[in-house]
Structures are given as C-alpha cells and as structure tokens.
Amino acid sequence: MLASFLQFVFSGITVGSIYALCGLGFSIIFNASHVINFAQGEFIMIGGMATVSLVALGVPLPVAILLAILATMLVGFALEKFAVEPARKASVTTLIIITIGASIFLRGIAQELWDKNFHKLPPFSGDQPFLIAGASLMPQSLWVIGVTVVVIVGLGWFFNRTLEGKAMLATSFNTLAAQLVGVNTKKVLLMSFGLSAMLGAIGGIVITPITFTNYETGIMLGLKGFSAAVLGGLGNGMGAVVGGLIVGIAEAMAAGYFSSAYKDAVAFIIILFVLFFMPSGLFGKSGTERV
C-alpha cells in the first residue's frame, strides 16, 4: 500500500522534474517576449537524440552531453534569430504560430536526420535500484532529480544575484526602461531562447535512459511542460517548478491507481481546469522576480 504509493511518488517526481525544466523554459521565453514557444518540447527531443547519436559515434558520454546541450542551444539561437526575430513586430499570436511551425519543422528534420525508432542511453550510474520502504528508486531518477535541483539553484542565482540575470528580468518587467539603462533587449531575447533550449536539452538528456526518445518525444513532454507552466502561472519560475511536480505526481497517481491510459489526459485536464478557473495559475505572475 505505502510501497506502491511511494513508488508512484518517486516516478511522479522524476518525470515532474522534466516537466519543471520544460515549464521553466516556457516561462523564461514568455517573460522575455510574451511568446509561448511551442518548440520547447523539441529542445528536449534534440538534446536526447543528439546525445544518443554522439554516444553511438563513440564520443564519451560527458562530452556527448556537453556537445548535445551546445547543439540544442544553437538551435534555440537559430529559432530566435531566423524565425522569431524577423517577425518581432508581428502580433504575439503570429509569433506563437511561428513557433508551432518551427516545432513541426524541427520534428521533420529530426525524422530525416535520425529515424522514427526509439533510442536509448545507458543509465549514467548503473541500474541497481535503491529500496526505500518497499519502493524502488532507480539511480537515474536520482540523476534526474539532482540535475534538476542544480539547474533550479543555478537559475535562481543567475536571476537574483547577477547583473545579467537582473537585466533579463528588468527587460520582462519594462522593456523600454531596460533599453534606457542600456540593456540590449534584442540580445536578451536571444539569450532567453538559448537558456530555454539549454534547459530543454538537459531535461531531455537525463530522462532518455528512463523513457527513451524518438523524434516525436517533444510533443508530449512539451505539452506537459506547458501545462506545468500554466498551472504555476506563466512567467513564474517557481510556479513552473511546483506545477511540474504536481503534473508529474498527478500523472503517476492516475496511471498507478486507475490506468496508464489516463496518464496523458491528466496534463490536459489540468490545462483546461486552469484556463477555465484560474487563468493566472496557482501563483499568478507576481512572483516572477524569484525563479
């Protein structure tokens, strides 16, 4: 009883961490541009797939991970530079549609570059589970959770302690004033795509040993990350993290106690519920200065 409950919590927190990273990606770009970047899920896919390919080429895992993150960031920069930036004067709706187009485009490229099959990575440190009160916790889950914690702490430091981070926040609060103190707000927009791509790639890489990956992985993960961000209040960093954990755990419970057929429905029910009953999410937008 307790054991299975604990088991669902473990798996919920693990996938929830990825939703949190993805939700943070949505929030960072949303803050910088008010665009909802529906290609966020593709960053997750590219990070995972690129690592798989590099490892298959014989590149040592840590180097492969680093290169895959860099490659995903380049895709993020390119997305901003060549798809979003040229249309910057267009309405936000147009920009959102552009990101949807970009996500389809990126999936197409991925399908050509790789294939439609599922690919996997070996767990980073073996697959000997830890037994806790009858529930088993995989070492890879600890990697996922640990890396997520490190990333969140790093982001918190960046946005609350560095001038560059504060300049990004300042741009989201008041773009005109940010320009007037000398912030290059175009660069901030570019940075926000790079940063979000990095978060997506990191999530995609650490989760691949557990869930495997293929060219379409980003669709579902992206939507769930989006529901996490919406649940926490779009633009609210801490909200995205809490939202990610809630979506992850709710999903694991639904799959465990009812049927795994309901698993994906949970995220959609949450999105609809939030949009209808609390459009500003659990934490509204007021807490944006804390990531």
Partner 1 sequence: MMLEVRKLTSHYGRIQALKGIDVIIEEGELVALVGANGAGKTTLLRTVSGVQPASAGAIWFDGRDITRMAADKRVAAGIAQVPEGRQVFGPLSVEDNLRLGAYRRKGENPAGDLERIYTLFPILKEKRNQAAGTLSGGQQQMLAIGRALMSHPRLLLLDEPSMGLAPLLVAEIFKTIQELKKLGTTIFLIEQNATAALSVADRGYVLETGAVVLADSGKALLTNEQVKQAYLGM
Residue closer to partner 1, measured from CB, 51 or 288: 288
Residue closer to partner 1, measured from CB, 181 or 261: 181
Under 8 Å between Cβ of 72 and 50: yes
Backbone φ and ψ of 36, nearest 5°: -95, 110
* Residue 167 contacts partner 1 per CB under 8 A: yes
Q: For residue 114, what is the enclosing H or E element?
A: none
Question: Tokens representing 278?
Answer: 């609390």
* Residue 2 contacts partner 1 per CB under 8 A: no
Q: For residue 130, what is the enclosing H or E element?
A: strand 130-132
* Residue 34 contacts partner 1 per CB under 8 A: no
Strand partners of residue 119: 213
What's the min distance (Å) between Cβ of 281 and partner 1?
A: 17
Tokens 């920009």, residue located: 95
Strand partners of residue 135: 132
For partner 1, which stretch binds (CB under 8 A), given 47-55, 83-91, 176-184, 211-219?
176-184
- Give residues 178-207 in contact with partner 1 (rule: CB under 8 A): 178-185
Considering only 105, 123, 166, 264, the residue that binds partner 1 (CB under 8 A) is 166
* Residue 221 contacts partner 1 per CB under 8 A: no
Residue closer to partner 1, measured from CB, 31 or 99: 31
SS3 132: strand
For partner 1, which stretch binds (CB under 8 A), given 6-14, 42-50, 172-180, 262-270?
172-180
- Give residues 135-164 in contact with partner 1 (rule: CB under 8 A): 163
Residue closer to partner 1, measured from CB, 169 or 245: 169
Identify the burial level of 179 via C-beta atoms within 10 angstroms of its C-beta, where 0-12 means exposed, 13-18 middle and 19 or more buried: middle
Distance between CA atoms of residues 121 and 210, nearest Å: 8
* Residue 24 contacts partner 1 per CB under 8 A: no
Backbone φ and ψ of 138, nearest 5°: -80, 145
Interface ranges with partner 1 (CB under 8 A): 163, 166-167, 169-170, 173-174, 176-185, 286, 288-289
